[in-house]
Amino acid sequence: MSQLRTVQVLGGGSAGSSAHVGSLAAGLVARGVQVTVCAPAELDHAYDFAGTGARFVPVPRRSDPAAVAALRAACAGADVVHAHGLHAAVRSGLALGGRRTPLVLTWHTRAHAEGARRRLLHLLERRAARAAAVVLGASSDLVDRARRRGARDARLAPVAVPAPGSPVLLHDSKVRAELGVVERPLIVSVGSLVPHHGYGTLLDAARMWRQLDPVPLLVIAGEGRERGALQRRIRDEDLPVRLIGSRDDIAELLAVADLAVLASRWEARSVLAQEALRLGVPLVATAVGGVPELVGDAAELVPYGNAEATARVVARLLADPAARERLAAAGRMQAAGWPSEDDTIAQVLSVYDELVQPSAAARGR
């Protein structure tokens, strides 16, 4: 068979989906696949898709005729088009209209909306799921959701987070000093500053942590539309919290933390959770979405939106070094059983082979 040609379509999405596309592109190129990545230009600047050996085509995250035409041109001659995220799948379906090129969708995460926007989201999910020959869900609940939305073939396909390129130094005193935590515990949370990440709940918990001695510092890495409101609360209530903006050294930040906290309303395979367990950083997380199946017994789970439960569990763990050590060891063991990047690439290639071989046979008749 001639060289397999695949187009990876990314519409913006999360840091996790962008990192996954970079990892997938590099792995596919290394296995002799011809890869084109279509994404907004700013994502190539951040993730260097061209540096993986893939061809990069800038395509804006829009569904207007010009953007769809650019995507259609980029997909010409592809054996498989692989969309990452709902918007990317819908746009890819439009671009492939009239062609028999199979479309694969990796569904990385769930959006949240209310009222009319919720109905529109439902329609978007249904259209994306039905456009794809195969839907790969990052968690079991996403697989179930894809089937409810009419997917012909939906499968679990855990997305591996790329391992750090170099060893991460644990308990680096210099990093802790830069964050202002020399003699006090450090709690780290990571993610965009948007409502569904639950930072309002974390600030409520931080107000309760002021009773502890020493008072821990909560550091939140990320940017988003809630920054102003969160910063005002931190100032007005004199909370022991720092917003440090977007960072490209998340592993280094987590490595110096006493605890990591994930307060989200929903997650599939949280990058924060994966990085924390891999590094042996004790994790407190909400029992939502794919988090329980991801962490198993290697993290403390709390209900979403329950500041009192979050504060209580964090306080207990900060007072019990032995419990933190047990969680750290359990986290490393849990992470060792996750699929590797090679496993992820092998699964994706097997899906491509299933879809391409029947098409090649049909063309040969």
Query: pLDDT per residue over 229-252, tens digit each?
Result: 999 999 999 999 999 999 888 899
Does pLDDT of 14 surpass 80? no
321-336 helix and 307-318 helix, angle to the nearest 10 degrees: 100
> What type of residue is 219?
V
pLDDT reported for residue 171: 67
pLDDT range class, residue 358, cuts 50, 70, 90 = low
Judged by DSSP in three states, 38 sits in strand
Interatomic CA distance for residues 365 and 363, integer angstroms: 6
Does pLDDT of 165 surpass 90? no
**What mean pLDDT is predicted for residues 101-118?**
88
pLDDT range class, residue 16, cuts 50, 70, 90 = confident
Does pLDDT of 12 surpass 80? no
- For the beta carbon of residue 298, count every other beta carbon within 10 angstroms: 23
**Contacts of residue 43, Cβ cutoff 8 Å, sequence gap at least 6:** 10, 12, 18, 49
Closest CA to 101 of 129, 74, 120: 74
pLDDT reported for residue 64: 86
pLDDT reported for residue 166: 57
Judged by DSSP in three states, 222 sits in strand
- State the burial class of residue 197 (Cβ atoms within 10 Å of its Cβ: 0-12, 13-18, 19+): buried
pLDDT reported for residue 183: 87
Query: pLDDT per residue over 173-183, tens digit each?
Result: 788 888 888 88
pLDDT reported for residue 113: 74
**What mean pLDDT is predicted for residues 327-355?**
95
pLDDT reported for residue 365: 45
Does pLDDT of 362 surpass 60? no
